[in-house]
Chains A and B, each alone.
Chain A
Amino acid sequence: EAGVTQFPSHSVIEKGQTVTLRCDPISGHDNLYWYRRVMGKEIKFLLHFVKESKQDESGMPNNRFLAERTGGTYSTLKVQPAELEDSGVYFCASSHSRGPAYNEQFFGPGTRLTVL
């Protein structure tokens, strides 16, 4: 079974530019999560998709961030325009099902974003 993949692994952009991160979850996983870790701080939740619907986007920092999951498969996270404080590692995770029981989240390798 292929794991969660993320592209690109690294991205270096200038302040004000646009960057799009992609996440391919494990096939069949309805839940997809985005997290980010900024400057060695704790990992922060950004948002959660269930299939193509945004279940919870309470962690999105501002309207410069736009996440989509068309068709309920892969997801993109666009930052436009990027600011210096957006630098960090963006992680994607997926899980199989949602319910009263725990659902383990499987993580991708992350995308390291550097905004200059």
Chain B
Amino acid sequence: AQSVAQPEDQVNVAEGNPLTVKCTYSVSGNPYLFWYVQYPNRGLQFLLKYITGDNLVKGSYGFEAEFNKSQTSFHLKKPSALVSDSALYFCAVRGSNYQLIWGAGTKLIIKP
């Protein structure tokens, strides 16, 4: 069965430090992977995607994600965190019928 796991409910990072939000997936065939962010009282916003090509994908707001096929992971990263990055982050994989299959979400808290 296709699934996505985000092992951390919450990640706390000091402003200016690098951040990583973890995601692992299980899917048959080649994965189409996504990260979305939800700011308070806002909808889901697309951050980045991996379809094929380079394992390091760059996205919006300075975020990037690294696709690792052997570890079936797609961790979200940013070299230097901002307080404004505090939000809820969701990892997703595209299912066989084009629907998105989601992780449970990780709350990212950046402290000044």
Contact = CB atoms under 8 A, between A and B. Distances in A.
A39 B24 CA distance: 22
Interface in A21-66: 31, 33, 35, 40-45, 48, 55-56, 58-59
B98 interface: yes
Chain A contact-residue range equals: 20 to 34
Contacts of A107: 36, 43-46
B101 A45 contact: yes
Contact of B43 (A4, A44, A103): A4
Nearest to A99: B98
A90 B26 CA distance: 25
Contacts of A4: 43
Given A35-B100, A43-B90, A45-B100, A106 B51 contact: no
Chain B contact-residue range equals: 20 to 34
Given A48-B99, A55-B97, A102-B32, A91 B43 contact: yes
Interface of A: 3-4, 31, 33, 35, 40-45, 48, 55-56, 58-59, 91, 93, 98, 101-110
Interface of B: 4, 32, 36, 41-46, 49, 51, 90, 92, 94-95, 97-105
Given A4-B43, A110-B44, 5 more contacts: A48-B97, A55-B98, A58-B97, A98-B98, A101-B51
